[in-house]
A and B are shown apart, each in its own frame.
Chain A
């Protein structure tokens, strides 16, 4: 770390103090949550910030607040903590299985859901699950707070919609229908500790007659940002999961892909896997909705 001696560290106790520090220092200030992306990037000298602003001392970033309507997850809640939260696990198993895929147990104890979102990797595991869930991102900034749908938060690899002085305080999962379920699946070449070649998040609500009331599908690692497959919603709504619907769903997932070609997966391979994973994730979400 070349400029280590110039680096400063602050641990404010309020969101307002974070905004003031961010606004004062500008882009050389970085929010520091679990550090599992940030410290790696600093170690590799990809970034050399002058100020780290640790947000873990702000109570609202560390809490999981469950109400009858929604669940608010503080941005600095870790994967390990989400996995231990029984209520969250039973209401949003897909979100929890996505964050639990992030890294080893050692990484899990540190990696936060807000950090995963804000690092804005196209392959970030929690993001397709959050998009499928229609999660809202709560942002604090110089002009107060605002909300952005998870699907609009990342605007390119490593880039977010955050303006100067803004940071994420929490993520809100909306009220669910009675019979709904979600799921996240990823494909990696190994069985553990790897980056998604494709990730698929799905969320399904059912009518009393067993047809689909509403559904959302999102894909990761197949485009510059994780993205929602809007066509999937129309394909599923009002229908049952028969072969024709599944074939249309796979085609919609294929069509949404604009992946890179690299040693971990060719364009053709990623596109094909996206269709397969999309169908599997929807099936699991559907089954979970039926079992509610």
Chain B
């Protein structure tokens, strides 16, 4: 079976990969490219652990196919920190202890980043609705929501 050859941009770098017709972006990232920061929690759009950003929109990587992505711009958790400098969201998740096992964290960070780009000053309710597609079995969400609100305040203050 011939593989499709796809050229994309991932975290700013041009990346080529081969994939089968039915292979999801989640599988491409983890198996073909060895980028295991994107997590597999369910494979059916329910948990949000696989959330990445494609052409500026947050999506579930388990519900996107690799073959559709010719020319697409993809952002994953591996591109969130700039060198050794954490993104404010990452730093606030550490400060607030907003993670335990960490499986949900890459997806939540990407979703929160997309959310704050659209709405830099969200209310607590907006953050909770915004993260409704991201499940966490460990933290009980409060610390996550506080970390996102704190990061938003930080990002507004520092432009």
Partner of B48, one of A6, A35, A39, A104: A104
Partner of B132, one of A6, A35, A52, A104: A104
Given contacts A4-B20, A7-B21, A106-B51, 17 further A-B contacts (CB under 8 A): A5-B20, A7-B22, A9-B21, A9-B67, A34-B63, A35-B65, A40-B44, A40-B63, A52-B21, A52-B22, A52-B65, A54-B67, A103-B45, A103-B133, A104-B133, A106-B48, A109-B58
| With contact pairs A5-B1, A11-B68 given, residues A39 and B133 touching in the complex (Cβ less than 8 Å) | no
Residue contact A39 to B58, C-beta cutoff 8 Å = no
Chain B 73-115 interface 0/1 with A at a Cβ cutoff of 8 Å (1 = within): 0000000000000000000000000000000000000010011
Residue B64 is within 8 A (CB to CB) of chain A in the complex: yes
Residue A192 is within 8 A (CB to CB) of chain B in the complex: yes
Chain B 23-45 interface 0/1 with A at a Cβ cutoff of 8 Å (1 = within): 11000000000000000000111
Which residues on B sit within 8 Å (CB–CB) of A43? 43-44, 62
12 A–B pairs (Cβ distance < 8 Å), ordered by A: A1-B22, A6-B1, A9-B65, A39-B45, A39-B63, A43-B62, A52-B65, A106-B48, A106-B111, A107-B133, A109-B59, A192-B132
Which residues on B sit within 8 Å (CB–CB) of A70? none
Residue positions of B touching A, CB distance < 8 A: 1, 4, 20-24, 43-45, 48, 51, 54, 57-60, 62-65, 67-68, 111, 114-115, 129-130, 132-134
Residue A216 is within 8 A (CB to CB) of chain B in the complex: no
Chain A residue with the shortest CB-CB distance to B107 = A106
Chain A residue with the shortest CB-CB distance to B42 = A43
Query: Interface size on A (CB < 8 Å)?
Result: 30
Chain B residue with the shortest CB-CB distance to A42 = B22
Residue contact B20 to A36, C-beta cutoff 8 Å = no
Residue contact B21 to A192, C-beta cutoff 8 Å = no
Residue A270 is within 8 A (CB to CB) of chain B in the complex: no
Which residues on B sit within 8 Å (CB–CB) of A44? 44
Which residues on B sit within 8 Å (CB–CB) of A104? 45, 48, 132-134
| With contact pairs A42-B22, A54-B68 given, residues A106 and B60 touching in the complex (Cβ less than 8 Å) | yes
Chain B residue with the shortest CB-CB distance to A194 = B132
> A11 to B134, alpha carbons, bound, how many Å?
31
Partner of B133, one of A5, A11, A34, A106: A106
Which residues on A sit within 8 Å (CB–CB) of B115? 105
